[in-house]
Amino acid sequence: MLLHQLVDKFGPAIVFVNVMGSALGLPVPAMPTMIIVGASIALMAVNGAAFWPPLVGVLCVAVAGGVLGDLVWFQGGRKYGDKTLKTICKLSLSRDTCVKKTERFFGKWGVRVLLVAKFIPGLSLVSVPLAGAMGVKLRSFIAHDGAGIALWSAVGLSLGVLFAAQLEMFFAMMSQLGRQAIMVLAVLLAIYVAYRWWRRRALMATLEKARISVDQLYSLMNDEPLPVIFDIRSPEKRMLDPFAIPGSMFADERDLAKIIESYDKSRKVIIYCSCPNEVSAAWMAKTMRNAGFRDVLPLTGGLDAWRLAGFRVANLTEFGELMATTPEEVEQMAATCSLPLSQNGTLHEAGFPHPHGDRA
């Protein structure tokens, strides 16, 4: 059966399954599918078949499949919050940075990020549950997510229509090669996945050599001088999980040059974040050591490990971390986050009562 015949018979079902599977986080070729379907519709139109009705129909099917798949993660984010983000990030080969980057995108653009999320690898997978966790209204989510999927699908279909002749030649060549072509593609994909896995393992083996446990940090906080503790979670993450290790200083690794200039390089520095395996914290620690700091270590397990160990955490909402400067901003943040807010200034240090002997 020729490719365009296959698409003519099963095209909408193939598109629906692929786009919904991609939205759920499955490794399916959603964009290549849209391109192939667009090319097949164009080729069938050359032979006298209708063009616009099947093209619009496939577009609608793609939007329906994508929104249904995204709704699963959106509701998961709304119900389970940060736990859903941690779960979905494990599906990504770039899980160490995808959550933090998405939080920053969302903090800047809000739900509008869904309009372009499908075009950026990793962003779509995390922005959907993040929208649920941040309290975006269902109607607003469906509108923005549907528009973003429609735009993404239209681009894929348009590419297929424009390059229909070239794709027809390519698949004709592939059919002549038969199983050999499939084997080559499978081997290339396996090499790529193996390389990403090996690079991650090598990175984690290197970073594992220089860390500090929560018990060791707790002991240090009962001695003098106290270590400098940097909390490098994004503001959006602190909105979702408004707690911190007592005495933490909120910092952004993007402002590392300013941090290096502001602190004594002989001080002991501990860094923690919310990313899986603390890679952001580890990289910041390594950069600070290269800049001349003598003793900088990432905290194994971050805030979650500290909390699980039973040590006391500081409630940020009691100290003005979540801030707004006008009544309108207060209402907007309250609608987004559903957390207590303050108008007295931004909290720079969670320097609350010293944690001598304090456990939750």
Query: What is the DSSP annotation of 208-252?
Result: TTS-B-HHHHHHHTTSSSPPEEEE---HHHHHHS-EE-TTEEE--
Q: How many Å apart are CA 109 and CA 317, to the nearest integer?
A: 23
Q: What is the mean pLDDT of the chain?
A: 79
pLDDT over threshold 80, residue 318: no
Average pLDDT over residues 156-166: 93
**Phi, psi of 109, rounded to the nearest 5 degrees:** -110, -15
Q: What is the pLDDT of residue 91?
A: 55
Q: Is the pTM of this model over 0.75?
A: no
Q: What is the pLDDT of residue 200?
A: 67
Q: CB-based contacts of 210: which residues, under 8 Å, 6+ apart? A: 282, 285, 286, 297, 298
Least confident interval from 13-17, 60-64, 238-242, 273-277: 273-277
Q: What is the pLDDT of residue 2?
A: 54
Q: What is the pLDDT of residue 92?
A: 54
pLDDT digit string (tens) for 194-243? 887 787 677 666 655 678 999 999 999 888 888 999 999 888 888 888 99
pLDDT digit string (tens) for 70-114? 999 999 999 988 778 777 656 554 555 566 777 778 878 889 999
How is the beta sheet containing 228-231 ordered, strand by strand? Answer: 295-298, 268-272, 228-231, 248-250, 349-350
Q: Tokens 């986080």 sit at which residue?
A: 25
Confidence of residue 337 (pLDDT cuts 50, 70, 90): very low
Q: How many Å apart are CA 268 and CA 228, to the nearest integer?
A: 6
pLDDT digit string (tens) for 119-143? 987 788 889 999 998 889 999 999 9
Q: What is the pLDDT of residue 5?
A: 63
pLDDT over threshold 60, residue 3: no
DSSP string, 80-105: HTHHHHHHHHTTSTTHHHHHHHHHHH
Q: What is the pLDDT of residue 108?
A: 83
| Superfamily in which the 214-350 domain is placed by CATH | Rhodanese-like domain (3.40.250.10)
Closest CA to 352 of 308, 309, 320: 320
> Which amino acid, 175?
S
In the chain, where the domains are located: 3-162, 214-350
| Sign for the pseudo-dihedral over CA of 134, 137, 141, 142 | positive
Q: How many Å apart are CA 324 and CA 332, to the nearest integer?
A: 9
Q: How many Å apart are CA 287 and CA 22, to the nearest integer?
A: 36
- What is the distance, to the nearest Å, from the Cα of residue 322 to the centroid of all Cα atoms in its chain? 22
Strand partners, 295: 268
